[in-house]
């Protein structure tokens, strides 16, 4: 392999053919013709036929894909009219009956007022929930007053003293060193007594 001097700007000396013997990945490279070497630039154009063939192949693949999907839709659903937009823009009503619970939620104003009246009457009256078990319902206001007088259930004092959140619990090693861990003895010594 002959060594050549560094090229000066403006000189058009062709490169040594030895520089083209291997390309970057180590495979033999195609040697350029003498006209390309003389010009110092790439003279060949892009392969238009190859690009056109790839474009035609892509178009054929797209048309074939749409055809396959259309045939599958027809085969699986038995209809092809899903592509057409609906005339009114609103979905048609369902063929089956609307379930009772859904129907009751779509009440008109009068039905809703009747529903609220019935519920308010139940909340402000006495009645049996289970007569055999002796369970009754009482007006909501009276039930709230009873809860205030009797008090809400709480934990026993001993259990509450056993564990108390002092707000000084330290995070574990998952703190990634952002906070120093301190021992329980250190916390007890620093906490006010």
pLDDT of residue 114: 84
Q: What is the mean pLDDT of residues 102-111?
A: 62
Percentage of the chain modeled with pLDDT above 90: 12
Of the candidates 80, 86, 51, the one whose C-alpha atom is nearest the C-alpha of residue 66 is 80
**Hey, is 149 helix, strand or coil?**
helix
State whether residue 70 is helix, strand or coil: helix
Percent of the chain with pLDDT over 70: 51
Most confident of 18-27, 39-48, 101-110: 39-48
Model pLDDT for residues 154-177, shown as the tens digit of each residue: 877 777 666 665 655 565 656 665
- 135 forms beta bridges with 130
Cβ proximity of 36 and 43 under 8 Å: yes
Q: What is the pLDDT of residue 57?
A: 98
What is the number of helices (H) and of strands (E) in the chain? Answer: 7, 2
pTM of the model: 0.27
């Amino acid at each position: 392999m002959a060594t050549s001097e560094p090229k000066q700007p403006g000189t058009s000396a062709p490169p040594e053919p030895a520089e083209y013997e291997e390309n970057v990945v180590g495979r033999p490279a195609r040697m350029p013709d003498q006209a390309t070497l003389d010009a110092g630039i790439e003279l060949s154009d892009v392969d238009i036929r190859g690009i056109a063939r790839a474009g035609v192949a892509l178009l054929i693949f797209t048309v074939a894909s749409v055809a396959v999907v259309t045939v599958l839709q027809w085969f699986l659903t038995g209809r092809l009219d899903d592509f057409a937009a609906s005339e009114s823009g609103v979905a048609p009503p369902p063929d089956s009956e609307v379930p009772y619970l859904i129907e009751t939620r779509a009440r008109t104003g009068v039905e809703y007022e009747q529903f609220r009246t019935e519920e308010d009457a139940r909340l402000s009256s006495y009645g049996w929930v289970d007569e055999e078990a002796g369970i009754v319902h009482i007006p909501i206001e009276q039930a709230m007053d009873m809860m205030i007088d009797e008090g809400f259930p709480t934990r026993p004092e001993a259990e509450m003293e056993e564990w108390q959140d002092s707000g000084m619990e330290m995070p574990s090693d998952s703190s990634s060193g952002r906070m120093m861990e301190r021992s329980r003895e250190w916390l007890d010594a620093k906490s006010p007594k």
